[in-house]
Structure 1
Amino acid sequence: MKRFSLLAVALAGPCQAALRFGCSSVSVQRLDPLVEPGSVPSAHVHQIVGGNAFNATMDPKIDIGETATCTTCVFSEDFSNYWTAVLYFRARNGTYKRVPQYANAITQGARAGMTVYYTQESFTSNGNQKITAFKPGFRMTVGSPTTDTKEQAVKHKGLRYTCLQTILTRGSETPDFPAEPCPAGIMAIHHFPACWDGKNLDSPDHQSHMFSTDQGGFRTAGPCPASHPVRMPQVAYETMWNTTQFNDKSLWPEDGSQPFVWSTGEDRGYSTHADYLFGWKGDALQRAMDSSCMFQACGGPKGVLKIQSAEEMNKCAVKSTVTEPIDGCEFLFSSFFFLQLGPKLGA
C-alpha cells in the first residue's frame, strides 16, 4: 500500500475534505457498549479515545455530541468514541504485560491513543461524490473477536498490521501479527465500510447496515451497491503499539513464535476488530465533508472546525467502572479468557 504526504496531496489538484487527527486515550477498561451494552465487565479489555460520555450502556437515543463535555481528540467538536482491543505481550514464563501505545505523531504532547481518518475517496483524489455525514445514534463495528483463521482474516481487506521500521513506516501490510521483532513497534490498522443502507443507524450485528467496497489501504473504494447506496466518510484508525521493549527474543516462546496477544486471547492477529460510535456536535462533520480542507488545515481560525491543544485533550478522561488490574498478570487472562480459549486448549 502506498501512502502520500500532505504535500503530495496538495499537489494532486482540487479535492474535497479529508480529516486526519490524533486522539489521546480517554479510558482503558473492560466495557463494550455496542456489543455488550450494560455488561460490567465486558468480555475483554478495550482502549478507547474520544468523548467523555463513554459508558457501559450508551443509549442510541441519546446524542453524545450534545451530552459529552470534553473530548480527547484534536477537533473539539468531535465527541465520538473510537475503540479497539488491547495488545498484550506474553512472556516465556507465562506472564503478561500490556503493550504501551505511541501517541499520535502529528500531535505533540498527546497521550497514547490513536490516529483517526475520515476520507472521501483516497489520498490522491477525494473525488466529487456527495459524502453524507453520520447521524446521531449511528454506530458500527468492523472485524470480529471470533475470527480465528487466516482465510477469514484475509477477506477483511481493511484490517491489517504494519511492522514499523520507524514510527513513520507505511506499507507492507499483513493480515496477521509480524513474525519477527519490529524495530519501532506494530501498527494496527482498521478501515470501516463506507456504504450505508440509508435507513438504519445500527443493525443486530452492528455491520449489516453498512457495506464495504474497500480495496485495502487508502485506495479508491468501489462504488456503493444499490442495497447500500449512500456514500459516507471512510473512517480508519491507526494504533501504534510500542513493542520495542519486548524485542529481546530470549523472552519469546521457545519455539520462536511471535508473543503478542489481543485482549480477546487470540495470538495470531486474526481477531482484530474496532468499534465506532458517532458523536460529532451538530453539523460539524458535514461542514467538514462539504469543505475543501485537508487534514489539520480543517481546524483553527481559517478552518471549518474548532481545535484544542494537547493539554486540553489530555485533561479529558472517563473514570473506570471496572476495578481490576489491566496492565498484565495471569489472573487477568485466566479469569475471563478461559471460557473462550478452553476448547482450543483442550479444557
Structure 2
Amino acid sequence: MYWLSLAALALVAPTDALIRFSCSQLVRQRLDPLVNPGMVPSTHAHQIVGGNTFNASMDPKMDIAGKATCTTCTFSEDFSNYWTAILYFKARNGTYKRVSQIPNSGFDGANQGGMTIYYMQNQLADYEQKSKVTAFKPGFRMLIGNPTFETKAQAQKFRQLTYTCLKNIDTRFPETMDFPKQPCAHGIMANLRFPTCWDGKNLDSPDHQSHMAYPVNGTFENQGPCPESHPVRMPQLMYETIWDTRPFNNKEDWPEDGSQPFVWSFGDQTGFGTHGDYVFGWQGDALQRVMDSPCYVNCPTLKTQTIEEANKCSMEPVVKEDIDGWLTELPGINMGPMDK
C-alpha cells in the first residue's frame, strides 16, 4: 500500500495517526557509525540530520539526548540521527556533481533542504488506537535497504523503499522502486519506510536489520499482523528526501544512450540499492508520549522549535574532502568493497 498524500490524509484521518516534522541538514560527510563504526572516513558520503552527538562510533551505551546540545529537528526533544547516501548527477564526460536537496511541503527555509521524518503510531484504519505501539528504546538502531542490490527482485525484500517523480511539491504518486527514467519537473523524492515489528529483546543486531521485521502480510498501514518472532508493534518510521534534479533536466546532458544519469554516492545507478540508517535519541519518554497520545502531524505533548532555530544546529565535517564540486570520482568509491 502506498503512502497517502497529506491532502488525502486530511480528508480521511481524524486525529491519532502520525507526526510529521522537518529536520534540517546537520552535516554531509563520510561517516557511518552503524555499518563502518569507528572508520574515518567511511566508504561513501552521507547526508545526516538530527542531534549533534553524531560521530564515527555512536556507542550504543551513550546517552545521546543527554550529551546533545542541539538538534536540527523541529521537535526539539528529538536528538536522534537519521541519514542516507547522497545523490549525484553523472555527466556525459564521466564527472559527478552533488544533487542539492530542497525543503518539503510546509518546511520552507530548512537548511540544505534536510529531510522530512514521520512516525506513525497507528494504522490508517485503526483510529481508536486499539493496539499498543511501543516506542523505540535508548540504544535502539536499525538500517533499511541494501547498497549491493541491483535488481528489482532483490529490492523487493524491502517492501516500501521507493521514488516519486515530482510534478510539484505535493506529488505523491506514482512510486517506483528504481530511479525515474525521465526528467522530473520538481525533483525526485526518495521514500524510505522502515519495518515496524520488533523482536522485543534486541536493540540492534549484527546486520542492523534482523531484530526488526515486516508484518506477516500486507503493511503497517493496512493492519498486517506482526510475526510471532517479532511480536512488538513499533512506530512506522519514514524518511522523505527531495533531491533537486531540476538543474539536470536537459536530456542533452544525459548519457548518449538516454539512460537516467543519477547515481547514489556508493555507486548505484539503478536506485535499487537505496538505504537509510537510524539511531534513536529521543529525550526521556517523549516518543512514548506521542505513541500514547492523539497526535496528527503535530503533537501537543512535544516541545518544538522553529525551523530558523533548528538551522542553527550544525557540525563541521570530520572528514575534510570535496564532496560538492565537479568530481572525477565519487568520494571513497575506490576504497574497496561498499558497505554490506
TM-score band, normalised by shorter chain: over 0.9
User: Residue 107 of structure 2 aligns to which amino acid in structure 1?
Assistant: T
Give the alignment of 1:70-89 within 5 angstroms: 70-89=70-89
Q: Which residue of 2 aligns with 1:120?
A: 121
For residue 116 of structure 1, what is the amino acid of its counterpart? Answer: I
Asked whether the 8 Å contact 1:193–1:214 carries over to 2, the reply is no
In the other structure, the counterpart of 2:327 is: 330
Cα offset, 1:333, TM superposition: 1.9
Aligned residue in 2 for 1:305: 302
Partners of 1:7 and 1:250 lie apart in 2 by 37
8 Å Cα contact 1:31/1:46 also seen in 2:
yes
Distance in 2 (CA, whole Å) between partners of 1:340 and 1:220 is 38
Counterpart of 1:324 in structure 2: which amino acid? E
Partner of 1:317: 314
Residue in 2 that maps onto 1:174 = 176
Q: State the SS of the aligned residue for 2:287.
A: helix
Match of 1:92 in 2: 92
User: Which amino acid letter does the alignment assign opposite residue 322 of structure 1?
Assistant: V
Paired position in structure 2 for 1:344: none
Q: Which residue of 1 aligns with 2:22?
A: 22
What is the CA deviation profile of residues 275-307 of structure 1, one whole-angstrom value per residue up to 9, with x for unaligned ones?
A: 0000000000001110002112x1xxxx11000
After TM superposition, give the deviation of residue 6 of structure 1 in Å.
Answer: 5.9
Amino acid of the structure 1 residue aligned with 2:322: P
- Contact 1:95 1:328 (8 Å CA) reproduced: no
* 8 Å contact kept, 2:194–2:238: yes
Deviation at 1:334, TM superposition (A): 7.1
Deviation at 1:110, TM superposition (A): 1.3
Letter in structure 1 aligned against 2:122? E
Write the deviation string for residues 195-215 of structure 1: whole angstroms up to 9, x where unpaired: 001110000000000001297
- AA of the residue aligned to 1:173: E
Q: Which residue of structure 2 aligns with residue 69 of structure 1?
A: 69
CA separation of 1:216 and 1:244: change in aligned 2, threshold 3 A: farther
Q: Tell me the residue number matched to 1:39.
A: 39
Give the CA deviation at 1:218.
7.4
Contact 1:121 1:220 in 2 (8 A): no
Looking at structure 2, the residues matched to 215 and 109 of structure 1 have their Cα atoms a distance apart, in angstroms, of 39
Q: How far off is 1:308 after superposition?
A: 0.2
> Does 1:102 find its partner at 2:99?
no
Question: Structure 1 residues 335, 276: CA separation in 2 closer, same or farther (over 3 Å shift)?
Answer: closer
Quickly say closer, same or farther: Cα 1:125–1:208, change in 2 above 3 A. same
Inter-CA distance 125–5: structure 2 relative to 1 (3 Å threshold): farther
| 2:265 corresponds to 1:268 | no
Q: Classify the secondary structure of the residue corresponding to 2:330.
A: helix
Shift of the alpha carbon at 1:5? 3.1
> Percent of aligned pairs with the same residue?
59
| 2:146 corresponds to 1:149 | no
Contact 2:190 2:240 in 1 (8 A): yes
Could you tell me the TM-score, scaled by structure 2's length?
0.93
Q: Is the 2:65–2:79 contact (alpha carbons within 8 Å) kept by the matching residues of 1?
A: yes
Please name the residue that 1:3 is paired with.
4
Note the residue ranges of structure 2 that are not aligned, 5 or more in a row. none
Partner of 1:27, secondary structure, is strand
Contact 1:325 1:332 in 2 (8 A): no
* Equivalent position amino acid for 1:225 in 2: P
Identify the residue that residue 161 of structure 1 maps to in structure 2: 163
Counterpart secondary structure, 2:222: coil
Q: Using the alignment, how far apart are the partners of 1:124 and 1:169 within structure 2? A: 23
SS of the aligned residue for 1:245 comes to helix
* Mapping for residues 208-287 of structure 1, pairs under 5 Å: 208-213=210-215, 219-287=221-289
Compared with structure 1, are the counterparts of its residues 60 and 78 closer, same or farther at alpha carbon in structure 2 (3 Å cutoff)? Answer: same
Contact map agreement 2:132 2:233 (CA 8 A) in 1 = yes
User: Which letter does structure 2 place at the counterpart of 1:42?
Assistant: S
Contact 1:12 1:125 in 2 (8 A): no
Aligned residues: 335
Higher mean C-alpha deviation, range 108-117 or range 223-232: 108-117
**CA 221–143 in structure 1, closer or farther in 2 if over 3 Å, else same:** farther
Distance between the aligned counterparts of 1:22 and 1:80, measured in 2? Answer: 13
1:55 is matched by which residue type in structure 2?
N
- Over aligned residues, Cα RMSD in angstroms? 2.0
Shift of 1:179: 0.5
Residue 247 of structure 2 aligns to which amino acid in structure 1?
Answer: Q
Distance in 1 (CA, whole Å) between partners of 2:65 and 2:80 is: 7
Classify the secondary structure of the residue corresponding to 1:240. Answer: strand
Q: Give, as a single letter, the amino acid of the residue that structure 2 aligns with 1:295.
A: V
Listed as ranges, the gaps of 5+ residues in structure 1 are 342-347
Counterpart amino acid of 1:114? Answer: M
